[in-house]
Chain A
């Protein structure tokens, strides 16, 4: 056990050391004096590999760590970081989607109506995000990341929320399902309520996902679980699958606007996916509560950095 914590601590140290060191380099100067070109994909790969491990252990999506940390501490413009962040979150969701759907953990029936609203709004969010000045987006990103920290600290979860009476819309759409709870061996039948309110909330979630390129699992899960009453496992799995649709629409906007640089995207994408695989293995032995606190700390640090960078204040 000590070996794992030592390893994680070393990785986090590298993770937190490389970023500020790079941020200290003036991007304009880094262009010519920053060493050979191949150092950047390698650094991105290493950092996102660690990020993938930390994201799994902390129970957050890769995108939510990627955008604030890479935009805050690396010499890449926020436009490209958001484009890469969306593709990172999208790839993770695409990789997880088939398994979650086949095991009936993610519900296509629940996802389809939600996805229509979230993906359309993600397009609007992406357009808005690319139209607004960078400092405004950076400031709003910082505030959002700090808001996510508050959600992570305060939001409750309900394993099996009580849904006494499904609402008329969910009844009309037959949004219901059954899944096997492996820990008890029982089949759980579930349904949802407050569907109109939940769908309306996904307007905001979609816009934010597109605007910041964050992915939106941090918002999807509480809405599906606490507001609409889907069981926690269904909410987590459907949220992950939902990202594959929401992020698709926003990713196309960024792609078509030229915000995708393969030398940034591919190493990040491979790094975070391999990191996630390692993270899942470590998860069996690590203490997620401890890691979760560290993730909240890292996010708060990155959120403050984004906020101060957007406001033009140099704190660190």
Chain B
């Protein structure tokens, strides 16, 4: 192993594709997050939890917080997008979801290159991340 003068090949096709999808998704997610946060702090949309009451909740554990604020776990937030605080979850979900899209995007390229093992690994990663995102995997409370 060491340094030697060799012809530098280009970056693999699937890697460039992954990077391209990741870049667009990341910028979109961050942009939306900043805009929705401005909407939230300016009070353009009324929040579900009044901002003045937030400091009462964030010192509780999550189980007590959900009960006290009457918030449901999982994708329930998606039904509350008219509220200023839950609107921010669009950007957060995009940032947390862009990797799934990146993996899904490279599977056809890997299959076309007959890189079956990596196509299966990429599919497996999509399944793992989708399972996490689905909300079906639940943790116990404190």
A interface residues (Cβ-Cβ under 8 A, vs B): 27-28, 30-32, 34, 37-38, 40-41, 75-77, 79-80, 87, 90-91, 94-95, 97-99, 101-104, 107-109, 112-113, 115-116, 119-120, 123, 126-134, 160-164, 172-173, 178, 180-181, 184, 186-191, 229, 244-245, 248-253, 255-266, 269-270
Contacts and interface: CB of A to CB of B under 8 A. Distances in A.
A101 B137 contact: no
A270 to B, nearest CB: 7
A191 to B, nearest CB: 7
16 contacts: A37-B51, A77-B61, A94-B25, A98-B26, A101-B19, A107-B15, A112-B122, A116-B124, A123-B131, A172-B117, A178-B6, A178-B8, A181-B3, A184-B3, A188-B4, A245-B129
Given A119-B129, A263-B51, A87 B92 contact: yes
Contacts of A79: 61-62, 65
A187 B40 CA distance: 49
B55 A108 contact: no
Contact of A266 (B2, B4, B59, B88): B88
Contact of B6 (A164, A189, A259): A189
A249 B20 CA distance: 21
Main SS at interface, chain A:
helix
A256 B135 contact: yes
Contacts of A190: 1
Contacts of A115: 125
Interface residues of B, number: 76
B137 A123 contact: yes
Leading 5 A-B pairs by shortest Cβ distance: A27-B59, A262-B88, A98-B23, A101-B19, A130-B139
Nearest to A249: B132
Interface string B45-80: 000000110111111111001100001111100000
B121 A112 contact: yes
Contact of A244 (B73, B75, B99): B99
Interface string B112-142: 0000011001101100110111010111111
Given A34-B55, A97-B19, A178 B9 contact: yes
B132 A31 contact: no
B128 A187 contact: no
A48 B82 CA distance: 29
Given A108-B18, A112-B118, A263-B85, A30 B59 contact: yes
Contacts of B52: 37
Nearest to A94: B26
B141 A131 contact: yes
Contacts of A164: 1
A101 B15 contact: yes
A38 B95 CA distance: 25
B96 A255 contact: yes
A256 B138 CA distance: 8
A32 B100 CA distance: 41
Contacts of A255: 89, 92-93, 96
Nearest to A87: B92
Nearest to B19: A101
B11 A249 contact: no
A117 B9 CA distance: 29
Contacts of B34: 266, 270
B111 interface: no
B98 interface: yes
A103 B129 CA distance: 26
Of B25, B51, B58, B124, most A-chain CB atoms within 10 Å? B58
B91 to A, nearest CB: 8
